[in-house]
Structure 1
């Protein structure tokens, strides 16, 4: 049994022992944060009974817990998890070290839910990117990239941290994943675009705002596009020789990325004559799907690292999505659309109590010395166990 399952059992056991603890959890811990369906059903039942002013949830916590609290919760949960018996709550109670530490156990449950949510949306982005790469599209990739970004921001607010990109240290950064092979058609589009720009340099004005060298999959094509951009920026003539000279000045011929014959061939004025803007949009589309594949793999690798605190995971994941966010913005510019937010209307800032509860630390609450000891077990009541002493 994993520590996360123990935490889920502990927080539910704490609420069974002390229904008043539900008031410290209800604002920020939700049933969907529980991994096991039976635990989610029980917690949802507790929240529903609380919303209906169940007598146990209104008690001051200084007396025995009515047995009806247990039976009513189980009965409500069986609507979603058939076969649940009254024995199961007693197993949860025995798994709770201290009922007053319920917010800390709830924080552990929320932490596990954050890792699962990030991994789930990273997988969806990865599948969408693979599909779009095969189809030559990027709509689903852009949608799931936006959803993942919004989910990270929402989780950051729920956890009580700032959704800020943070570069992970080398010990945490995901291992490099070799890029997948690029289709021949994509390389042909890149060559055709370079020919269009070399034969009609005025078309650079149509693409330089949103097309970047990294959008080319082939390193040699990236160097030629850089050379074309540099010549255009300086207002110098663009032809086969000037591009070759600029590529040489940038070291592209020294490291064998390119050779003179290839540069002259790609910049042949007879090689291109189409609309650069249309072909450039296809390049950005392919680049978006390609970059999303890599970014999703990085985020997924971070999400499965259970040692990462939620704040770290969110910051590192946002950093991995940084290049994708910029590329998605440029893709929208190329298509004449504006990027949107899938969850911005649904997300709201948490209350101060929410943040305080979510950021609780694993420090046991000191029991009030003036409080009387818990009552002895009764025949028709679920008694609270006596507090265990903490070894020094």
Structure 2
């Protein structure tokens, strides 16, 4: 037998020997916390007899306990399960080392129940996510995610703590990553969405609040969406070439996440025309289901680790559900079931677009070194032929005929 079964037998034996122990056990230990149906039925029968004010239910074990307490308990439990005998009840009594330690044995039972319950609900969440991925829905995934969160909160309170997410230490083992298969239709939807946003950049304002780069299943699509967002944030023009240049600056071409031909093909404005909002919702929906599968796998791995104390298990599991909750909130915003968050009262207003654009562009400009700054001409000393019109590009190339150090400092990055 496992240590958990020994603990269940010990706590039931302690209550047979001292029925008054139920006063300390019943507020937090429930029949469903026992792993064996016979133990569940016996403990439920004890609670019922106590609620019915059985004459022996208040005995504290100082003196002999009436035999009727055991026989009545077995009779009541036999109504809900088969095979219970008086001899098995006597074996439970002999399995209890110290009746006064009933609370400790009960906490052992609760600890096993916490691991078992978390594992079961994580498995259900994973199964629901798989089913939703096949039928293209989110209802079951969202429902089981809420159930798992509620179960963790209830178990935390029963254990005597607060349901608070806790990040596991960096040294903690993590479950092996299993790449999830990506549907070809989803990849086509992602390309279609990126093409729509490239052709009509103004649509970025409508999706940027709830569509994040991580929602894209393909790493290359994530980089293109980041590039589109960066160009849009800086107020710079968006077309095939500017997106290609931005992906290069971000290293997506160097690390072979993307190639130039693929970027130009995806961002071809003549190939796409449709609703960016609708396709964006489908991308977020797929991200929700995909994140639920990953979170459920992580929670299940935590629950299978018997060395984790219940408090840490619950905290780590709530932390693992954090990314899922974040995607779920954005999904509700995308589908209109939850409004976008408003600016809190007293919070300063955002910078005007012109100031924001200038601030973003300034971060992209090259910075002169001290030596280059000392030799750089002042605005008053620059000939008019070398001046750059505001909002334009200088077409004469005489500014490259400088000293090598100044040329390197002045080149755009």
Q: Which position in structure 1 is the counterpart of 2:97? A: 97
Q: Which position in structure 2 is the counterpart of 1:349? A: none
CA distance in 1, matches of 2:60, 2:225: 72
Q: Which position in structure 1 is the counterpart of 2:106? A: 106
Question: Aligned pair 1:246/2:246, yes or no?
Answer: yes
Q: Which position in structure 2 is the counterpart of 1:25? A: 25
Any unmatched runs of 5+ in structure 2? 340-413
CA contact (8 A) 2:18 2:60 kept: no
Structure 1 runs (4+) greater than 4 angstroms displaced? none
1:308-334 deviation line (CA, Å, top 9, x unaligned): 100011111111111111001111111
CA distance in 2, matches of 1:249, 1:170: 31
1:117-171 deviation line (CA, Å, top 9, x unaligned): 1001000000011111111221211111111111111111111122222222345
CA contact (8 A) 1:118 1:300 kept: yes
CA distance in 2, matches of 1:338, 1:114: 32
1:175-234 deviation line (CA, Å, top 9, x unaligned): 232221201100000000000000011111111010000100111100000000111111
Q: Which position in structure 2 is the counterpart of 1:255? A: 255
1:207-222 to 2 correspondences below 5 Å: 207-222=207-222
- TM-score for the superposition, normalised by structure 1: 0.85
CA distance in 1, matches of 2:109, 2:82: 23
Greater relative contact order, per chain length (Cα 8 Å cut-off, separation 6+)? 1
Q: Which position in structure 2 is the counterpart of 1:147? A: 147
Q: Which position in structure 2 is the counterpart of 1:3? A: 3
SS at match of 1:57: coil
Q: Which position in structure 2 is the counterpart of 1:332? A: 332
CA contact (8 A) 1:179 1:294 kept: no
Q: Which position in structure 1 is the counterpart of 2:169? A: 169
Q: Which position in structure 2 is the counterpart of 1:197? A: 197
CA contact (8 A) 2:19 2:60 kept: no
Question: Aligned pair 1:294/2:294, yes or no?
Answer: yes
Q: Which position in structure 1 is the counterpart of 2:64? A: 64
Q: Which position in structure 1 is the counterpart of 2:13? A: 13
CA distance in 2, matches of 1:231, 1:268: 17
1:39-83 deviation line (CA, Å, top 9, x unaligned): 010000000000011111133543210000011001100001123
Q: Which position in structure 1 is the counterpart of 2:34? A: 34
Q: Which position in structure 1 is the counterpart of 2:408? A: none
Q: 1:60 to 1:111 in 2, by over 3 A?
A: closer
CA distance in 2, matches of 1:48, 1:85: 19
CA distance in 2, matches of 1:82, 1:245: 73
SS at match of 1:104: helix
SS at match of 1:35: coil
SS at match of 1:270: helix
CA distance in 1, matches of 2:236, 2:2: 65
Q: 1:60 to 1:114 in 2, by over 3 A?
A: closer
CA distance in 1, matches of 2:58, 2:260: 82
CA distance in 2, matches of 1:196, 1:303: 43
SS at match of 1:56: coil
Question: Aligned pair 1:308/2:308, yes or no?
Answer: yes
The alignment yields a C-alpha RMSD, in angstroms, of 1.2
CA contact (8 A) 2:124 2:144 kept: yes
SS at match of 1:58: coil
The farther-off stretch of 311-320 and 52-61 is 52-61
CA distance in 1, matches of 2:83, 2:176: 47
Greater gyration radius:
2
CA contact (8 A) 1:122 1:299 kept: yes
